[in-house]
Structures are given as structure tokens and as C-alpha cells.
Chains A and B, each alone.
Chain A
Amino acid sequence: MLELKRALDAKGHCLLEMPSGTGKTTTLLSLIVAYMKAHPLDLTKLVYCSRTVPEIEKVMEELRKLMNYYEKEMGMEQNILGLALSSRKNLCIHPSVSKEREGKVVDGRCYSLTASFVRARHAADDAVPICEFYEGFDAHGKEFPLPPGVYNLDDLKEYGQMKRWCPYFLARHTITHANIVVYSYHYLLDPKIAEVVSKEISKTSVVVFDEAHNIDNVCIDSMSVKITKRLLDKCSNSITILETTISNMKENDSKRLEKEYKRLVEGLRDATIARETDMALVNPVLPSEILEEAVPGTIRTAEHFVAFLKRVVEYIKTRLRVQHVVQESPAGFLRDIHTKVCIDRKPLRFSAERLASLIRTLEISDLTDFSPLVTVSHFATLVSTYTKGFTIIIEPFEDRAPTVSNPILYFSCLDSSIAIKPVFNRFQTVVITSGTLSPLDMYPKILDFHPVIMTSFTMTLARPCILPMIVSKGNDQVAMSSRYETREDTAVIRNYGNLLVEVAAAVPDGIVCFFTSYLYLETIVSSWYDQGIIDQLQRHKLLFIETQDAAETSLALINYIKACDNGRGAVLLSVARGKVSEGIDFDHHLGRAVLMFGIPYVYTQSRILRARLEYLRDQFQIKENDFLTFDAMRHAAQCLGRCMRGKTDYGIMILADKRFSRADKRSKLPKWIQEHLKDTNCNLSTEECVQICKRWLRQMAQPFSREDQLGISLLTLEQLQSEEMQKKIQQRAQGI
């Protein structure tokens, strides 16, 4: 809290690592809210970005508790408005649209009911359907702001139902004046969405990225484009639709096209004005240079533009017809497109803007069909805008199936700082926090910013409730490792199996195992099956396996939880970087032990990764190996952190690989894990590990209540105010 206050005072960015379950969210919320109350001019808004909808809901719950406390203590209504925002899919209350399952379909149908031209048409002809909730909101909602309070998604829906206003648009509208906004990363990082949603958030805001250990990947994903052959085929279809619509319109209503043409001549002046007055967040897809210019003549008329698009798509199609892997820079690509099909850089740059404008003019209400075309236009804009930090890779086939032709064009962003830069530049304080951010110094480098505060916190605990261990060898003294050379070695696989069987016999309820990849998981499980290890395992616990299929995995998870609940016990085999390792908490009995088989390095043969490593080396002076280790260790830490969700929880963490005990790996674990990782537990054999587990589990099973924590990890008000404790806190603050 102290550190956070310093960062707020300095109006700088900060990077905080706090173990999960230590009240990270509450701390952030309470301090920032208090700061907002104390300095209402310096700090007007809190934007809290989280990863998933359940996480957003959790944050809202915390906020509600905080507000209730304020009300109780201060005795009056608080003038603070907090709300959560999610996609239309989660907020829609339209009777038929909300039944749709897929987010894209909901978006499309919503657009077809609420777009301005549809509504205009409705005014003329009652038969055209519109959304009554949006109408209600449009008629009345804008004048009456939401009363102060805390609204989560359900509250918004309820409020919407009551007033007959559309909750989605209500929330979007309210963002501009709400004090606290909670939503997903993408609303801020993905340029396409940020443009629409987060544009008008004021400069004096605090932005918090929670669970941000993967933030660089999110940034990169939001800027990267992947084009497959199927996508291009769909593009061709939509271009034909465009053509027919244009010719239709020409016959019926040529005025509108003319109007558009004129507007384009004037250029994107409005946007320029907006940016100059510092109204909006800079959109990286829309670089400032093009704002000052008018849309080039070659693509101003609709037919010309469509023809232009056609050429681009055809050109990409020819590029995909390659027999070997091609990698080139955006500049090379531009040169090539210029020589082959005579397309300049400039019109390419405008293609995204131009397409959006065209779709608006043509009054196409079903946007879902056009998403492939939009993707291609984004690609065109990006490739012509950025010459640095991106690369183009064309692969004619997948590495795993070299005979099947499946050409893919990757336009891959190598620099994670591009997407997040506007956020850092615009907002006065950006807080990046997670349970596992170690090593901290890597993040400022790859995100290219200068934090004023960078701290890793540990937990104060009344008992040693995590037990990290590094198991390096089996009972037969054969070293365990997932190194490429020893990967197929049956002795290593057998040792891994024995480790799991023995741990399963000693640890109650749920055990979660993480492997480095799906491929490795499959080979290991099949050879365990041959060696009879699976049979042994099933004597103790039931076995569940995560697969690449999301439905199958969630079914496995449900049954895993069931098995843990009724005492049979279960083992879940899953993959680091998979769905299980990222979003799912195994608290209390669901995860008494986590085993990490091998170090989860990324697939180093991937060309995208290689390109990125090269870029990092050239631009930021980060050695390839450093980055790979960093990436592997943060995923390992993320997996390990799954089992620990609070101070009353306890869990064993077993790192089964010889290489973990090396200093360069060990020092990259989060501080709160390192603190408990004693030197004596760094080079254990299977049997030693099991002995330690058993003893530790018995200690942990002793009754443990709230009073036991008092004074150590939980302080009463008197204790907090006591002189001794104050001194301790001071010391600790200086120690950091």
C-alpha cells in the first residue's frame, strides 16, 4: 500500500508482485478509492482490467464490500459510481438476441437492430425490427446518469430490465463519468476495441492490470494477424457482395456515395482535432500521419476501392502459394506488392478506415460476414504503417503434417510495447500486478516503460503453508529432466511415473500435474500405460487428462472436482500454458499438491518465436536464453500458484526437473515461493520428497483457526496501532 501510494504521488507507473490470496484486489481498491476521495482533482478515475468474467465479478464483490464499509463508517451515502463492463453477449437483455451463444453472433445481431440507418429505416417503416431497449436508452438514458453505487453485470441487467434500457449501451455511456470501471484487458489493449470503448477515459486515471503476467502476449496477440486460405476465400465472397451492393446502390441512391466521397476528401479531420485536444486515446492502428492527410484518390470511389481490395486479396493468395517457408519484413512485403500488383503504400494504409466507412455507407447490417475482410484490411494498414517490430511469415504447411498443404500467413507483432504504449503515455499511473511477475526487471524491458516502483511482496504466514521442493532424481538416482535429449528415455519417464504414484499415495484429495506440452503429455501417458504405472495410480486416485478440446476438458474438470469432493481423490494431468494452468483455481482440497514435470519452455522451433527472440536481442539487448528462461519460469510459477489461494489454504509444490535447482532458474521464481524453498529441499530424490510431504501434511492438518493467525498474519486494530508493530512495518518498508 505504501509503495502504491508512492507511485500515485509520483504519477508514475508501477509493477507489483503480490501472492494470490493476500488481498491484492482489496488493497488496490481501498487505497485508490481513498486517494480519489482525498485528492479528487488529481485522480478522477480507476480503470481496473482483469482477465475473465468471473474475475471481474470478484473485483466487483470486493468493491461492494469496500463501499458498504465506507457507508457504515462514514454514515452516509458514498458518491462513487463503480461498474463492470463486458461484451454484449454477457449484458444483452433482448429476449431473442440474448439467447445466442456466440459472442460474434450477438454483436452482429445487436448491430443489425441498433445501427443508425436501421433505426432511420424503422422510423419510415414499422416492419423493420429494432431493439426496444436501445430505443429506451437512447430516448431517456443519456440524460439521467446512473445513481451512485456499485453495479456488477447482473445489477446492470436488472437495472436495464427495470428501466427498459439496454444495459450494454448504458454501461458504455456511463464509463465516461463513472469513478471506477472494471473490464477486460482487451477494452484497453486491443486497438480495435479500445477505439470504440475506452477512447474518452480521462487522462488523470489510474489503470490497473490484474493477473498481468501474460500482458506482453496479450499485447502481441492484439496486434498480430493470421491469414489462412479459407479466410481469403471468404474475403472474395464478401467482396462480391460489396460489388453487388454498390451497383445496386448506384442505381437507387447514388447521392449517398457522392456524399461519402466528399467526406473522404475532407479527410479524417475530425479525428485530428480530437487528438489535438487530447480527447482520445491514441490508436496505434491509426497512426497520426494519416490523420493529416485525405484519403488518397485511388480508393476514394467505392468501386475503385473494392477493386483495390480484390487486388490485395488476390495478391495475398498468390503469396500463399509457396512451397517453402518465407519470412520477410514489412518493407520487403511492400516492395513486392508494389512491383507485382502496383499497389502503393499509401492506399494500403487507409484500407481499414476506408472499409469501415464503406460498410457504414452501404448500410450493411450483418457485420459478421465481413469479419474476414476486416481482418485483411487491418493487416494491410498495419503492414504499411509499421516497418519495425513486425514480421511476416508464410508457412505452406504445419510442422507436424508436412504433407498436408495448409498455407498460413502470419503477420506477427514482435514488440509488445507497441500496443501498450498509448496506455502508458496517456494515463498518469498504470499498475501492473499479479501473483507471479518474477523476475520483475524483465517487464519494463519488454513493455518499454519506466516504472517508478517495482516491488515483490511476500506473505506473512502463521504457518509454512506452502512446501516447494525440487525433485531432481528418482529412487534409482537417475536424474529427472524434460531435456530434449533425455525426453524419450524410459528411465526418466518411469521415474516421473513413480514420483507421481508415490505422491498420490501420500497426498489426500486433489493433485494437479503440469506437463510441458500436449505432445509430451501424450507420449508420457502412453508409456506409463505400458509400464503399468497408470494401474498403480488408479489404485489411489482417479485420473483425468486435459485435452485440447475445451468441452472435453471442462467435463474432465467437473468430474475431477466431484472426485475430490467425495473423497475418492483425483489426479489431473494438464499442460502448462493450457486452459487449466491459466484460469482455474485449485483451492483447498482441489489442489493439495502441484507437480511440474519438466520446465515449460515454449516450442523453440516456432518461427514466430525465433523472430521475436531475434528482435528482442537486437532492440532490447535481451539474450534469447534469458527470455526463454523467463518465459518458462513465469509459466511454471503460474502453474504452482494454482494451488495456493489464501492464507488458510496449503499446498505442496513439486518441481520435478534437475534444471530447476540451478541458480538462474531458482532465482526467477516469485519471492514468496523462494522464501519457502529451503536449500535442503532443492535436490531431493523421490523418496525423500515423499517423506517430507507426509510429515508436512500432518502438521498442516492440525486444527488452525482465526485466533492462531491473529498477531502474525492477521492484525486487529489495536495490534496494528501498537508501537511494536509500527516499528516492524517501518523496518519492512525500508527493507524492501
Chain B
Amino acid sequence: MADEDETKEYRWESGYEKTWEAIKEDDDGLLESNVADLVARAKRKRAALKDTGAIQLGMMRHLFVVVDASACMFLQDLKPTRFLCVLKLLEVFVHEFFDLNPISQLGILTTKMKRSEQITVLAGNQKKHIEALQQLKDLSCEGEPSLQNSLERAMNGLKNMPAYSSREILVLFGSLTTCDPGDIQKTIKSLKDNNIRVSIIGLAAEVRICQEIAKKTGGTYNVLIDDHHLKELILNQVQPPAVAGSMEASLVKMGFPGGSPIVNDGTSDSSADHAPAYCLCHIESETSSLMGPNGYNCPQCGSRYCELPVECKQCGLTLVSAPHLARSYHHLFPIKPFIERAQVRETTHCFACAKLFVEAETNVIIIVNFRLCLFYHSLPFLFLLKVYECENCNQIVCLDCDLFIRETLHTCPGCASDPVTAQMKTN
């Protein structure tokens, strides 16, 4: 990356930092590790919160991501710069987001020079967003951000979304100040009236107004410790949030375009479905080319799309495929929360990852991406004092596996491997 090299300075010119201290235990007390402890506990709490059973989850989400592009995003406390780091993580986020929420939509805003700019409109096409994010890397960061302007803009975009969808804003906020044209309290109030949930991730320190916005709109506010933690925080937003009470349940009209690529065997009822046509998502761009017969046709108006899920540009119908819906489906039936226990003597291994439960003698904390936990069998790490037990199968797993099961697998390995319980479930 060329621009990365440009911003790079000599080591002695860059900021004074004590990188070793991030993993170091404090000499004079447990305070440092206490903080890490708090993080772990918060993680667990979040998981527990979501698992309270019969809460309704917003399966259809409309989310605006607001990226701070003010001068402070050029700081290098995240490598290579805050801005680039955030953009990179956002790419991962966009990918994961559509993976878990296939029928949701996303839009991207930036804020700088006291203004707010729209980068992408609300859309369900992840390629477009990722492309836009990659282009953003060349953007120069300058001026002050405006929280109010960007929230207003996002609100205007979200206001008209159907009531059954969950409206959300995610702000990645690096600055410690906001330059607003008016009273931000009014904005907060109208956000609340519109049922928009604002979650904020701070990149520097706790700012009161962010705390307040998040609290009042029912979102979360977190501040990162380092880039691993940031990744974790951003990816936490992938999980659909519990619905704030007032959302109405309603039937949604959806189209399921015939999916299979067509062989011209004449079985198809209309030949127009497979005639070469412009893909509607790319029709505006210069480089659009005629599509082959492969693609998805809207069952209502017949427009063609290269990708699903998408909202039909012609008739506004939501086009999805059945697997997408199925993937969103598991959000509705989360597995029951595991019970936290002090370490039990007889079980020495985690049932899921077969790792030893080590007594916490060394307080070394390694923040490992929990997603990879299963593949890290051999690492001799972890300070496990607490283990987790499944209610159904009574198998014991470690904290990381607990989170992995909850957030990725969505099924308990104990229950699934036990023929009796598995049978019961299918029955």
C-alpha cells in the first residue's frame, strides 16, 4: 500500500509507547489484570444478556455505519493509522454482517470538517460496500467530526424504513470532541422517538455525550484497549440485538427468485428469464456489461440481479434465497445459556476443545480471537477459573468455547454428539 508508506515515519520519530505493557502484569497489585478481568466478564455478560431465551431478535436490520474521518484519525496508536485500521476491520465486519444477517441492509457515512458525507446508501450488496471502503483509504482525514450531523443524516435514511426492521446506527468515533450546529439533546430525543438504536465504539477515551446517546437510545458504548479488542467490539455488533419492545410483528412480502443457473433445456417457462440483460445493480456504473443468462430474476417484475439478497430496484420487493432466511433463523432460537461454575475437579478438559483447565497461576492474558479458539488446542494458555456447563447435556466447556458456541456454532456440541438429546431435538 503506497499511502501506508507515505505516512510511515522512522521509529524514533513516532510516538513514545510502551508496547510491552499491554500484556504485562502490573508489579504493584492486581489492578492491571483486574481491568482485563473486567473485559472478560463484560464479554460473558453480553453473551448472557442475549441468551435470555424468548426475546425477539431483529432479523431484518437496517444499519448505518458512521466512520469518523476527522484529523485525529491519523493518529498512529492503532497500526498503521486509526483510520486504516478501522477501515480494514470494517471490511471484515461487512462480510460477517451479511453472513449472519443476510436479509439486512447497510450504509456507510463519514464525518469530517464538521459535516457528514454519505459513502454508500442503505443496500444489501456487500461487494459495493467493501469496494467503497477500499476507496475510502485514500480519503484525507481533517477537521473536527460532527456527531449531530451524522446522526441526523443517518436518521433521515432510517426513518422511512419499515417498522418491523430494526434500525441501528454504529458510530466509530475517534475524536474526543464533536462540533455540532445545534442542540444534540433534540437529536437524541428524535432518535429515541424513531426507535433508532445507536451504538458507539470510542477509539480514545470515554466521552460523556457518547455514553449518554448510547444509553438513551438503548445501544452500547465501548472503548477499545487495543486493536484486538477493537476487532472484538466491532464484531460484537454483528449479532442482531434484542428488539426494543414496540416493534410490530407483520408479514413481509419477499421474493424468491429462481436460483439455479440455467441450462438451456427448454424446461423453463419463459425464455425472457434467461435472455441476456443488464444487471440492475451495476447498470449505473460505467463498466457495466451485459450479463449472461446467469442471474436472479425478480419474480414480480422480472428485473435481473447478479446477487442476492437485494431489494428490487424496480418494484421494491425484497429478494432473498431460502438459505439466507435459514441462516437468520437461528437467531430466533438461541441456545440456553450455560451455567457458570467454579472449576470441577473431575473434569480436567474442556469438552469442546479438549484443552486442559489450567489453574490460574500466571496471570498472563492473551486476548485471542475467540473464533479461532477451536484451532488453538495446543496453546498452553489461559487462566481458567470458571467453566461453563450446558444445562441439557451437562458437558463442561471453557469460556472461549462457550462464546464460540454461542456466537458461531449456535448449537451445543455436547447435545449434538449425544444421540439421545440429538434425537429429542429432531423429534
Q: Is A546 an interface residue (CB 8 A)?
A: no
* Residue in chain A with minimal CB distance to B173: A567
Per-residue contact bits, chain B 87-100, to A (CB 8 Å; 1 contact, 0 not): 00000000000000
Contacts of B29 in A (CB 8 A): 464
Q: Which of B169-208 contact A (CB under 8 A)?
A: 176-180, 183-185, 202, 204-208
- Whole-angstrom distance from the CB of A124 to the nearest CB of chain B? 62
Q: Which of A564-588 contact B (CB under 8 A)?
A: 564-569, 588
- Bound state CA distance, A462 and B30, in angstroms? 9
Number of B positions contacting A (CB below 8 A): 39
Q: Contact check, B35 vs A463: say whether CB atoms are below 8 A apart.
A: yes
- Whole-angstrom distance from the CB of B56 to the nearest CB of chain A? 25
Q: Is B34 an interface residue (CB 8 A)?
A: yes
Per-residue contact bits, chain B 4-18, to A (CB 8 Å; 1 contact, 0 not): 000000000001111
* Residue in chain A with minimal CB distance to B143: A539
**Set B17, B39, B147, B204: member contacting A508, Cβ < 8 A:** B204
* Residue in chain A with minimal CB distance to B184: A566
- Bound state CA distance, A247 and B400, in angstroms? 98
* Residue in chain B with minimal CB distance to A464: B31
Q: Contact check, B202 vs A588: say whether CB atoms are below 8 A apart.
A: no
Q: Is B225 an interface residue (CB 8 A)?
A: yes
Q: Is A541 an interface residue (CB 8 A)?
A: yes
Q: Contact check, A691 vs B15: say whether CB atoms are below 8 A apart.
A: yes
- Bound state CA distance, A588 and B16, in angstroms? 28
Q: Is B402 an interface residue (CB 8 A)?
A: no
- Bound state CA distance, A545 and B222, in angstroms? 32
Most chain B beta carbons < 10 A, residue from A462, A567, A569, A688 = A567
* Residue in chain B with minimal CB distance to A539: B144
- Bound state CA distance, A569 and B177, in angstroms? 6
* Residue in chain B with minimal CB distance to A540: B177
Q: Contact check, B15 vs A508: say whether CB atoms are below 8 A apart.
A: no
Number of A positions contacting B (CB below 8 A): 35
Contacts of B21 in A (CB 8 A): 695
Q: Contact check, A568 vs B177: say whether CB atoms are below 8 A apart.
A: yes
* Residue in chain B with minimal CB distance to A704: B38
- Whole-angstrom distance from the CB of B15 to the nearest CB of chain A? 7
Contacts of B225 in A (CB 8 A): 698-699, 702
Q: Which of B272-328 contact A (CB under 8 A)?
A: none
With A540-B177, A691-B15 in contact, is A506–B204 under 8 Å at CB?
Answer: yes
Q: Is B154 an interface residue (CB 8 A)?
A: no
Q: Contact check, A508 vs B207: say whether CB atoms are below 8 A apart.
A: yes
Q: Contact check, B205 vs A508: say whether CB atoms are below 8 A apart.
A: yes
Per-residue contact bits, chain A 694-731, to B (CB 8 Å; 1 contact, 0 not): 11011111111000100000000000000000000000
Q: Is B223 an interface residue (CB 8 A)?
A: yes
Q: Contact check, B184 vs A507: say whether CB atoms are below 8 A apart.
A: no
- Whole-angstrom distance from the CB of B14 to the nearest CB of chain A? 11
Q: Is A366 an interface residue (CB 8 A)?
A: no
- Bound state CA distance, A404 and B34, in angstroms? 63
Q: Is A678 an interface residue (CB 8 A)?
A: yes
* Residue in chain B with minimal CB distance to A708: B38
* Residue in chain B with minimal CB distance to A712: B34
Q: Contact check, A588 vs B208: say whether CB atoms are below 8 A apart.
A: yes
Contacts of A566 in B (CB 8 A): 178, 180, 183-185, 209
Q: Which of A490-509 contact B (CB under 8 A)?
A: 505-509
Q: Contact check, B77 vs A569: say whether CB atoms are below 8 A apart.
A: no
- Whole-angstrom distance from the CB of A680 to the nearest CB of chain B? 10
Contacts of A462 in B (CB 8 A): 34
* Residue in chain A with minimal CB distance to B147: A567
Contacts of B77 in A (CB 8 A): 694
Contacts of A540 in B (CB 8 A): 176-177
Contacts of B42 in A (CB 8 A): 702-703
Q: Is A589 an interface residue (CB 8 A)?
A: yes
- Whole-angstrom distance from the CB of A286 to the nearest CB of chain B? 54
Contacts of A678 in B (CB 8 A): 28
Contacts of B179 in A (CB 8 A): 568
Q: Which of B201-241 contact A (CB under 8 A)?
A: 202, 204-210, 222-225
Contacts of B28 in A (CB 8 A): 678
**Set A505, A564, A700, A704: member contacting B72, Cβ < 8 A:** A505
Q: Contact check, A567 vs B209: say whether CB atoms are below 8 A apart.
A: yes
- Whole-angstrom distance from the CB of B156 to the nearest CB of chain A? 21
**Set B18, B38, B185, B209: member contacting A703, Cβ < 8 A:** B38
Contacts of B15 in A (CB 8 A): 687, 691
- Bound state CA distance, A687 and B12, in angstroms? 13
Q: Is B79 an interface residue (CB 8 A)?
A: no
* Residue in chain B with minimal CB distance to A685: B16
Q: Is B41 an interface residue (CB 8 A)?
A: yes
With A702-B35, A702-B42 in contact, is A568–B223 under 8 Å at CB?
Answer: no
Contacts of A701 in B (CB 8 A): 202, 205-206, 222-223
- Whole-angstrom distance from the CB of A734 to the nearest CB of chain B? 21
Contacts of B32 in A (CB 8 A): 699
Contacts of B183 in A (CB 8 A): 566
Contacts of B224 in A (CB 8 A): 698
Q: Which of A620-678 contact B (CB under 8 A)?
A: 678
Q: Contact check, A507 vs B205: say whether CB atoms are below 8 A apart.
A: yes
Contacts of B207 in A (CB 8 A): 508-509, 567, 589
- Bound state CA distance, A688 and B41, in angstroms? 31
* Residue in chain A with minimal CB distance to B31: A464
Q: Contact check, A506 vs B205: say whether CB atoms are below 8 A apart.
A: yes
**Set A539, A588, A698: member contacting B205, Cβ < 8 A:** A698
- Whole-angstrom distance from the CB of B93 to the nearest CB of chain A? 21
Most chain A beta carbons < 10 A, residue from B28, B32, B38 = B38
**Set B17, B34, B41, B184: member contacting A567, Cβ < 8 A:** B184
Q: Contact check, B205 vs A463: say whether CB atoms are below 8 A apart.
A: no
Q: Contact check, A708 vs B177: say whether CB atoms are below 8 A apart.
A: no
- Whole-angstrom distance from the CB of B146 to the nearest CB of chain A? 10
Q: Contact check, B176 vs A687: say whether CB atoms are below 8 A apart.
A: no
* Residue in chain B with minimal CB distance to A700: B206
**Set A505, A691, A700: member contacting B18, Cβ < 8 A:** A691
- Whole-angstrom distance from the CB of B189 to the nearest CB of chain A? 13
- Whole-angstrom distance from the CB of A602 to the nearest CB of chain B? 36
Contacts of A463 in B (CB 8 A): 31, 34-35, 38
Q: Contact check, B208 vs A702: say whether CB atoms are below 8 A apart.
A: no
Q: Which of A280-320 contact B (CB under 8 A)?
A: none
- Bound state CA distance, A494 and B29, in angstroms? 37
- Bound state CA distance, A678 and B21, in angstroms? 16
- Bound state CA distance, A698 and B75, in angstroms? 15
With A567-B177, A568-B180 in contact, is A698–B204 under 8 Å at CB?
Answer: yes
- Bound state CA distance, A708 and B31, in angstroms? 12
- Bound state CA distance, A589 and B15, in angstroms? 27
- Bound state CA distance, A509 and B223, in angstroms? 15
Per-residue contact bits, chain A 73-99, to B (CB 8 Å; 1 contact, 0 not): 000000000000000000000000000
Q: Contact check, A702 vs B184: say whether CB atoms are below 8 A apart.
A: no
Contacts of B204 in A (CB 8 A): 506, 508, 694, 697-698
Per-residue contact bits, chain B 106-120, to A (CB 8 Å; 1 contact, 0 not): 000000000000000
* Residue in chain A with minimal CB distance to B185: A566
Contacts of B205 in A (CB 8 A): 506-508, 592, 694, 697-698, 700-701
**Set A539, A589, A691, A700: member contacting B208, Cβ < 8 A:** A589
Ranked nearest first, the 8 interchain pairs of A and B with the lowest CB-CB distance are A567-B209, A701-B223, A589-B208, A701-B206, A697-B205, A508-B176, A508-B207, A569-B177
Enumerate 28 A-B pairs (CB-CB under 8 Å) in ascending A order: A463-B34, A506-B205, A508-B206, A540-B176, A541-B177, A565-B209, A566-B184, A566-B209, A567-B177, A567-B180, A567-B207, A567-B209, A568-B179, A569-B177, A588-B208, A592-B205, A687-B16, A688-B16, A694-B204, A695-B21, A697-B204, A698-B223, A699-B35, A700-B206, A701-B202, A701-B222, A702-B35, A703-B222
Q: Could you list 12 further interchain pairs (A-B, Cβ under 8 angstroms) beyond the known A567-B177, A567-B208, A700-B205?
A: A505-B72, A506-B176, A508-B205, A567-B184, A588-B208, A678-B28, A691-B16, A694-B205, A698-B224, A701-B222, A702-B38, A702-B222
A: which residues have CB within 8 A of B? Answer: 462-464, 505-509, 539-541, 564-569, 588-589, 592, 678, 687-688, 691, 694-695, 697-704, 708
